[in-house]
Amino acid sequence: MSGIGNALQGVKLKKTTPVEKPVVIDKTEQVLAALEKQAPQEVALQKSEDEWKTELTPEEYEIIRGKGTEAAGSGEYDRFFPEQGEGHFACRACKQPLYSAAAKFDSGCGWPAFDKCYVGGVLMSIDNSHGIKRIEITCGKCGGHLGHVFLGEKETATDERHCVNSMSIKFVKGPPATKMEEKSLTAT
């Protein structure tokens, strides 16, 4: 018998009941589950793909309508940090206000990052591309692809990082034409 076996010889073991650990579902899984039950959201601005092709450059079309992704660190707004109140970011395709300058933060991810959006400006849906399930974000007016939202990173008070393609947005000096409330997409 080994040393351990000898040490345990004659020792009476107490029978224990296994402790049940609570099942923890992370915020991303909760949002994805809710999105699976949700009907697809319609957008107000409907155009044909031919119309979009005439209005957007080929690069813009590939990202905004084709759901592409620009290379990390290559976008004009990745390292652009306007002062709070200096302006806002709008959808490049339809000019819908999406984010205030105050919502932008430096996440170091290589794409512009925002932690909240104008209410109704951004929609969420499930993206099953590339063999993984992610939360896609699109313009609430035209449905143009913005990027993806990541949850649970604890970088901001909202615990959201909207990872947005620079090609999908345009910085506009001044506030939106009408006062708009900002909110987290996943706030309850």
Task: Report whether 115 contacts 74 (CB < 8 A).
Answer: no
DSSP state of 43: -
Locate 13 and state its tokens: 């073991």
Residue 142: active-site member: no
Residue 154: CB atoms within 10 A of its CB come to: 7
Phi, psi (rounded to 5 degrees) for 134: -130, 170
Find the catalytic residue in 94, 139, 142, 163.
Answer: 163
Phi, psi (rounded to 5 degrees) for 181: -85, 140
Q: Beta strands of 92-166 (E only): which ranges?
A: 97-100, 104-105, 113-114, 117-118, 122-127, 134-139, 145-151, 160-164
Strand 134-139 vs strand 122-127: parallel, antiparallel, or unpaired? antiparallel
Catalytic residues: 163
